[in-house]
Amino acid sequence: MKSDALLDSAKKHLYGNYKPSPFVVERGKGCELFDVDGKRCLDLAAGVAVSSVGHAHPVLVKAIAEQAAKVIHASNYYFNEPNIRLAEELCKRTGFDRAFFCNSGAEANEALLKAARHHFYARGDKRQRVIAFHNAFHGRTMGALSMTGTPKYREGFGEMGPVTHVAYGDLDEVKRAMGADVAAVIVEPVQGEGGVFVAPKGFLAGLRALCNENGALLLIDEVQTGVGRLGRFLGHDGMGVKADAIALAKGLAGGVPIGAMLTTEALAGALPPGTHGSTFGGNPLACSASLAVLKILDDEKLVSGAKEKGEALGKMLDALVSEFPQVCEGARGDGLLRGLVLQKGFVARDVLPRILQLGVMLTAAGERVLRFSPPLVVSVAELEEGASVLRKVLGELQAKTQAGAAATV
Ligand code: PLP
């Protein structure tokens, strides 16, 4: 079917909670996506930081096909080998002791929240409150939503569990919000959805110290930052901070739905049998896909590559900021999670259609940030292609701004 016919049908039959661009994806290869009419687009978004090893990576395709031919699902009433091997592999790479698998980032964060509250409940401690951050994004299910720090996402959904939101990066505010009723603090190493805000140096270590002083747990949401995106396996690696539990998802299985909660041994009993679970979580298909992704990350040195290519991308974005000061306020990010911040008055999502028309996929983060979160297999030449399309679009915006300013003189 051609695009037009499919888009007509989509208008009639798809639920209206999304506002997709009129590009009907048919297939992909590496960082390229093609629509049903054969139009090519350079994918520098990887969905939203998901397609970590690019599209149709042969090793991932083979692993999925081979596992599908054996068994896709068998439930958590039984064990399966890919699930056990993935748990072992993730524990080995991260230093955590236990893995619980689910199907998305929101579910991984629900597991963190439930584990934290139940850990204290089981000790007769009534702590329930969570400290989270303004602009944080933890997902759309009710528990994850309660911790998400952008009011517009929570509006209209009624009462939310006890969560206090404070300024990201402000340890004094966290200190003031702390109390004997706080079960946990949840934090992202870089706030991706909120606008690509990088945690200030020492912030996570400061949170760890405040949690220790107050008997609260530190939960780190690595859904967007984990699995190599920042040029290290976990976003908080190298910060000298050990969380009590972390959430992973997005890039973990290269696009096959998966989420994971990793915990220390101290939290291993927080959710005993019957308190939590997931029908699809930990299925052999998703776990095999994830094992293949981890192998590709190693074989192709994609984690260290994300650091180098991220630095190259950072320079390209800095150059655009200098070139178009009337349109760009700055650039920020870490590894292959970077944002070009537009000046006040611009709305990032309104700029995306023109970028797409010129053959590049990016996403918006927060109100004014054009976000790059490409597959980790991206080449520097592909990043340059993205930057050159952006140069054209920023040039058009700057020309419009100048014409507008001239008209008002
Ligand atoms: N946590 C973070 C940091 C995210 O960036 C996201 C999604 O963007 C989520 C959680 C929610 O993940 P999902 O959409 O898979 O539920």
C-beta 249 within 6 A of ligand 1: yes
What is the Å distance from ligand 1's center to 139 Cα?
5
Let me know whether 385 and 262 are in one domain. no
Let me know whether 271 and 169 are in one domain. yes
- The confidence score (pLDDT) of residue 408 equals 66
C-beta 139 within 6 A of ligand 1: yes
Let me know whether 279 and 171 are in one domain. yes
- The confidence score (pLDDT) of residue 1 equals 87
Is residue 406 predicted with pLDDT exceeding 90?
Answer: no
Ligand 1 nearest atom to the CA of residue 191, by list position: 3
- The confidence score (pLDDT) of residue 10 equals 97
> DSSP of 181-196, one letter per residue?
TEEEEEE-SEEHHHH-
304-326 pLDDT, tens per residue?
999 999 999 999 999 999 999 99
- The confidence score (pLDDT) of residue 319 equals 98
Q: Which domain holds residue 50?
A: 3-56+301-407
Residue 365 structure tokens: 């983060």
Percent of the residues in the chain that have a pLDDT greater than 70, as a whole number:
100
What is the Å distance from ligand 1's center to 64 Cα?
23
Among candidate residues 275, 299, 323, the one where a domain is terminated: 299
Let me know whether 132 and 271 are in one domain. yes
Q: How far apart are CA 53 and CA 66, in angstroms?
A: 18
Q: How far apart are CA 134 and CA 155, in angstroms?
A: 14
Ligand 1 nearest atom to the CA of residue 257, by list position: 15
141-189 pLDDT, tens per residue?
999 999 999 999 999 999 998 999 999 999 999 999 999 999 999 999 9
What is the Å distance from ligand 1's center to 248 Cα?
9
Q: How far apart are CA 244 and CA 178, in angstroms?
A: 17
Mean pLDDT of all residues in 111-130: 98
- The confidence score (pLDDT) of residue 404 equals 84
Domain with 372 in it: what CATH number? Answer: 3.90.1150.10
Domain with 157 in it: what CATH number? Answer: 3.40.640.10
Let me know whether 94 and 199 are in one domain. yes
Q: Would you say 60 and 281 are in contact if contact means Cβ atoms under 8 Å apart?
A: no
Is residue 95 predicted with pLDDT exceeding 80?
Answer: yes
Is residue 88 predicted with pLDDT exceeding 80?
Answer: yes
C-beta 237 within 6 A of ligand 1: no
Mean pLDDT for the chain overall: 97
Mean pLDDT of all residues in 217-222: 99
Is residue 69 predicted with pLDDT exceeding 90?
Answer: yes
252-284 pLDDT, tens per residue?
999 999 999 999 999 999 999 999 999 999 999
Ligand 1 nearest atom to the CA of residue 48, by list position: 8
This model's pTM is above 0.85:
yes
Let me know whether 367 and 320 are in one domain. yes
Is residue 122 predicted with pLDDT exceeding 90?
Answer: yes
Mean pLDDT of all residues in 111-138: 98
* DSSP 8-state secondary structure symbol assigned to residue 215: T
Residue with the bigger pLDDT between 409 and 368: it is: 368
Let me know whether 215 and 334 are in one domain. no
Among candidate residues 255, 278, 299, the one where a domain is terminated: 299
What is the Å distance from ligand 1's center to 325 Cα?
32
* DSSP 8-state secondary structure symbol assigned to residue 30: B
Let me know whether 271 and 315 are in one domain. no
Among candidate residues 266, 299, 332, the one where a domain is terminated: 299
Count up the domains in the chain and report the number.
2
Tell me how far CA of residue 9 lies from CA of 4, 5, 6, 13, 22, in angstroms.
Answer: 9, 6, 5, 6, 12
Is residue 409 predicted with pLDDT exceeding 70?
Answer: no
Nearest CA to ligand 1 atom 5: 224
What is the Å distance from ligand 1's center to 278 Cα?
17
* DSSP 8-state secondary structure symbol assigned to residue 197: E
Q: How confident is the model at residue 405 (pLDDT cuts 50, 70, 90)?
A: confident
What is the Å distance from ligand 1's center to 222 Cα?
9
Let me know whether 277 and 310 are in one domain. no
